[in-house]
Chain A
Amino acid sequence: MAGKTLFDKIWEKHVVNQVEGGPSVLYIDRHLIHEVTSPQAFAGLKERGIKVRRPEKTIATPDHNIPTMDQHLQIHDELSRFQVNKLKENCEDNGITMYGLTHPYNGIVHVIGPELGLTRPGMTIVCGDSHTSTHGAFGSIAFGIGTSEVEMVLATQCLMQTRPKTMRINVEGELKEGVTSKDIVLYIISQLTTGGGTGYFVEFAGSAIRSLSMEARMTICNMSIEMGAKGGMIAPDETTFEYVKGREFAPKGEEWEKALAEWKQLPSDPDAVFDKEIHFKAEDIEPIITYGTNPGMGLGISANIPKVEEIEKSSQKSFVKSLEYMGFNAGEAMIGKRVDYVFVGSCTNGRIEDLRAFTKFVEGKKKADNVVAWIVPGSKQVEKQALEEGLKEKLEAAGFELRQPGCSACLAMNDDKIPEGLYAVSTSNRNFEGRQGPGARTMLASPLTAAAAAVTGVITDPRTLL
């Protein structure tokens, strides 16, 4: 019998029940909620007259709607304020812990889970948010769900799930200078397209992945959903254990030793068979930037936008529509294109290593006058660390302002909207039409590429300024 994959091992341990010819009933260890996708689920419970089954397994944080300035004041947008208050009320009514706006643990749901030690290897983790895949970086099965499913987890701590197929994406070799984990994942998506992972749970493996820090691994798993995958995961190793150890809610003492022994059994067996296996070479990857309106439309920063005839015939209409929206022409270069806004933040690249990389790059340089830059930490703890490390002063010296944590311009549910028609280089995860504000034009990139754009005011290869 073939060995088991990391995915198989965790999945099999969490199946409560198997519906004949149908989905599995999967037990959920950790449920994270935020203000946008949970209110209707709580309303559903109320209508049915049932309470949350295991309130201690759910953790709440408002993040999508919150302002990134003056957080000590009342949220001025009435609907946002109502939604954030509703989360608080629902959590209080159901005995759920919530880290509210001024709490030192508040932050983007996918940033606080790992930093508090709530995210651990071997777990099943869900959240009404597609970037829940981030937590897979710890060797957990983590995926985004809809609100009806949030209601299921609140009511029963279980979900009905059809077992996805498994895919392993191997990235071997060493990354070149100036190339980050964001570039790895944008590269993979550009190769596989936004539908290339649909139906699969992806394990990222290979020497290039193993050499990454936990935060860099999170960036990769975060964007698994952008290739359509159910989730992404990376086998836990010493890097993982070192990161989790000692965190607020991580197991301690004897419990730690017991957990560690279990986690060491999780990696895929050497003879495990995946439904699909793909190989990439790290040295083929250069800094990537997107030119279109889905995350699969990315290319090496020194490359030109494809010509229409290079696109598959059936996709040409969508390709042309996309370029029209962006105000770009087929075949032209990305280098030198105008940049109006730079956004550094989000659950993809809003962690301390991202802020450090950006700050180091801009230190001793000046923000370009034509650029508005929003530097938004992923959580209160990231913000605190940035202050302690003196990043705020260094950023200010270069003309940048550090804002307060939240999802911010990634989806522009708060005031942080890119104005219509203007161009943003963004370290977030989606360049869909209107994602960063109605009519906003987004180019996704790494914090280094964002920094290069911020100091030059145009799309610039960060390697030329290192």
Chain B
Amino acid sequence: MPIDKFVTLESSCVPLPIENVDTDQIIPARFLKKTTRDGFGDSLFCDWRYDKEGNPKPDFVLNDPTYSGSILVAGKNFGSGSSREHAAWAIHGYGFKVVVSSFFADIFKNNALNNGVLPVQISDDFLNQLFEAIEADAKVVVKVDLENQTISVPSKNISEKFDINPYKKKCLINGYDDIDYLLSITDDIQAWEEKAHA
């Protein structure tokens, strides 16, 4: 399945300055009973976002009309815990294309990349600068340039480089996924299996 192509993105941001956001918060386990990949966006951050009766909690950032955009900026160690890809599906389904944090859990990072959501890992300092810029101006535009691996706030003239595996970068820019690649090397896998069991 081709994933969304990603080159550059300019958007306002949704700030979530909480550390160690785990995948149980991103999507609680009781929503994992579906057998399809769609429809998880409505349950994103469900227990922070809605009260018991299902009414939006006004103090949660996704319910605050001041903030909008396709970039989620979160505190350090985002996506820890369960391996549920439903977390990445929920973030993608809600409409986020980029998640920015100073630290990501490994499995979440892979899951995000496999769904065309770019995890941008930046320094603690730059993360603080981003939170401050968003606090000062909720509509401040942040630019994510995958080709040049930079994240910037053009109006503030600040930017930082971010790392990404060159292979994953190519996949995102071209909209390829790992299965396409693995299926293309079936002969190599076959040869390896024969050698391993010889």
Contact = CB atoms under 8 A, between A and B. Distances in A.
Interface stretch (A157-165, A241-249, A250-258): A157-165
B83 interface: yes
Contacts of A53: 189
A40 interface: yes
B47 interface: yes
Given A80-B33, A413-B32, A156 B189 contact: yes
Interface string A119-135: 00000000011100000
7 contacts: A25-B185, A37-B84, A44-B1, A48-B1, A145-B83, A195-B20, A225-B81
Nearest to A155: B179
B176 to A, nearest CB: 11
Given A48-B1, A145-B107, A148-B111, 9 more contacts: A17-B185, A37-B83, A39-B35, A80-B33, A83-B33, A144-B107, A149-B110, A151-B179, A198-B103
A17 B188 contact: yes
Interface of B: 1, 17-20, 22, 24-25, 28-30, 32-37, 47, 52, 75-77, 80-86, 88, 103-107, 110-111, 114-115, 124, 165-168, 177-179, 181-183, 185-186, 188-189, 192-193, 196
A152 B181 CA distance: 10
B18 A194 contact: no
Contacts of A17: 185, 188, 192
A23 B165 contact: yes
A164 B28 CA distance: 28
A254 to B, nearest CB: 16
A158 B192 CA distance: 11
B107 A130 contact: yes
A201 to B, nearest CB: 10
A413 B185 contact: no
Contact of B192 (A16, A160, A194): A16
Nearest to B128: A314
B167 A317 contact: no
Contact of A433 (B25, B33, B82, B83): B25
B124 to A, nearest CB: 7
